[in-house]
Structure 1
Amino acid sequence: MKAPGRLVLIILCSVVLSAVYILLCCWASLPLCLATCLDHHFPTGSRPTVPGPLHFSGYSSVPDGKPLVREPCRSCAVVSSSGQMLGSGLGAEIDGAECVFRMNQAPTVGFEADVGQRSTLRVISHTSVPLLLRNYSHYFQKARDTLYVVWGQGRHMDRVLGGRTYRTLLQLTRMYPGLQVYTFTERMMAYCDQIFQDETGKNRRQSGSFLSTGWFTMILALELCEEIVVYGMVSDSYCREKSHPSVPYHYFEKGRLDECQMYLAHEQAPRSAHRFITEKAVFSRWAKKRPIVFAHPSWRTE
């Protein structure tokens, strides 16, 4: 081969190798880049005010894996499952919000006067899916307007291998065409862990902590809502006050677990526990930066 031909070949090879190297570097750094973008996105950043549907890539539809696309909510009611809601008489006020968030299997039937009857979004732990299936006609057949967002990690939520919980969600979408079911993506789950570590200085796994459904609900609400009123959530100091009344852990499970006893037991447990009180302290700090109001009991952020 003549010298000019060899030179051209060398140049072409160099260009190809350089392109491959750049692509590999970009791919390797992609998680870091996305994580950096998310860090700036939440929770201190302001929500976009441009009208029209927004794409929320942290939530993936079942079964097609498309991101959540919806209009943002101007006003949101986040309804706790706490026994604090009993006798509140806030049902009409809650239903007056543009979007109403509920958690796990918290029912509305029989409690409409206190918790309302509308459900725009329901955030569900993967462990609570079987509890909703016990009354699937109420939660799924009669609530077609509700958007379900399921969180969870590990093999039960695996889409590729067909984890147990994911298979159940898949069957539900086949039973009820048009049912809106989404899951937190793996990247979003990891990001929720990172938020916990950034806010508390503790690694979730190493500290033996399980995030609560309330944690994931608040993060979702902060993404979707311009204004948030949280109903039935006590402050982080509430259960250490001597004068607090005893209420059930869940408003729909009267006579069972006491709310504060549950919170304190989990907070003090060394492993495999929710950190309800720690989470509420974090929510209090978020309320200083974002339009979040706590109602019944009403309390101010310090």
Structure 2
Amino acid sequence: MKSLRFHWICLLLLSVCLLLWYNHVIRSGLTMKTGLRGYVRVHPKTRSASYFLDFRCGRCAVVSSSGQMLGGARGQEIDGQDCVIRMNAAPTVGYEDDVGNRTSLRVVSHTSVPHLVRQQGYFFGREAETKYVIWGPEKNMREDGKGKIFNALVMLAKKYPQSHIYTVTREKVQYCDGVFQNETGKNRMKSGAFLSTGFFTMILALELCDSILVYGMIDGSYCSKANHSFVPYHYYEPSRLDECRMYHAHEHAKRGGHRFITEKLIYSRWASQGKLRFIYPSWSHQEHQHD
């Protein structure tokens, strides 16, 4: 009888231990897997990823770096949205009236990371609460010590341990390539193109935001119109190449170009689903869709 009682006590203790262990595993898993799996934080103390981007927003303003932003006086309107998403290292200081002042999240190309490093006091001081999502080719983002851009991000994360720096995973980059191919029927790599920061930004915004208002982005047919305006490619680089000339050069480049015009035709189809609106300049196809 005592032996049977001892047996049941052991089983009960084992069951309690298993239950506690299972609860710990489940809680740890939820902690690790909260957020979007395609965007992984660069840990400030180790070279390994710690957790996924945990960010949701109601109404987002996506602000282009285009010269179209100049003179629009949309800054206050942009800052009035729930979240503000910007691209690369586009500055706000000196352009507040047109582009606003707030930045909730930046989507940054690997080619713009050196700008973050050079101006780290601004980006990780003034914009300390901003989340940074960095995309780039695997050779630059590898975590084995040979990824030049990833190494720079680790350095920034160590220097600014409260920073929020995330990388786009290899699987997510491949997913974005797949979206491009599904929309165009063309293999992105075989066509000699690179996806633009704007493309990664749009896909991320569609995942994060309940609704999206886009500022400063022209539609795919804009540059073919005889009366289109001539503005700088970037609002903060007034002496650089005209935007439409840049778009045409990239669209027809055999290798290494962004398909800006093709991407905007894709956005136009996405906008017809209602979650995405092009506010300034307003895209003509929206006029009958949104009252």
What is the TM-score normalised by the length of structure 1? 0.80
The aligned residue for residue 101 of structure 2 is: 117
Does residue 1:139 correspond to 2:123, yes or no? yes
How many angstroms does 1:191 deviate by? Answer: 0.3
How many angstroms does 1:136 deviate by? Answer: 1.4
1:143-292 to 2 correspondence within 5 Å? 143-292=127-276
Equivalent pair of 1:210/1:274 in contact (CA under 8 Å):
yes
What amino acid is the match of 1:74? G
Q: What is the DSSP-based 3-state SS (H/G/I as helix, E as strand, rest coil) of the residue aligned with 1:218? A: helix
The aligned residue for residue 62 of structure 2 is: 78
Question: d(CA) in 1 for partners of 2:55 and 2:202?
Answer: 18
1:23-42 to 2 correspondence within 5 Å? none
Equivalent pair of 1:54/1:72 in contact (CA under 8 Å):
no
Which of 20, 27, 35 is the aligned partner of 1:55?
Answer: 35
Question: d(CA) in 2 for partners of 1:253 and 1:143?
Answer: 21
Q: What is the DSSP-based 3-state SS (H/G/I as helix, E as strand, rest coil) of the residue aligned with 1:128? A: helix
Gaps in structure 2 of 5+ consecutive residues: 1-32, 287-291
How many residues align structurally? 250
Question: d(CA) in 1 for partners of 2:166 and 2:232?
Answer: 30
Question: d(CA) in 2 for partners of 1:212 and 1:160?
Answer: 26
What is the TM-score normalised by the length of structure 2? 0.83
How many angstroms does 1:84 deviate by? Answer: 0.3
How many angstroms does 1:162 deviate by? Answer: 4.0
How many angstroms does 1:271 deviate by? Answer: 1.6
- The CA RMSD measured in Å over matched residues stands at 1.4
Equivalent pair of 1:285/1:301 in contact (CA under 8 Å):
no
Gaps in structure 1 of 5+ consecutive residues: 1-52
How many angstroms does 1:66 deviate by? Answer: 3.3
How many angstroms does 1:275 deviate by? Answer: 0.2
Question: Please, which moves more after superposition, 154-163 or 279-288?
Answer: 154-163
Q: What is the DSSP-based 3-state SS (H/G/I as helix, E as strand, rest coil) of the residue aligned with 2:178? A: helix
Q: What do residues 216-244 of structure 1 show as CA deviations (whole Å, max 9, x unaligned)?
A: 00000000000000000000000000001
The aligned residue for residue 74 of structure 2 is: 90
Question: d(CA) in 2 for partners of 1:70 and 1:100?
Answer: 16
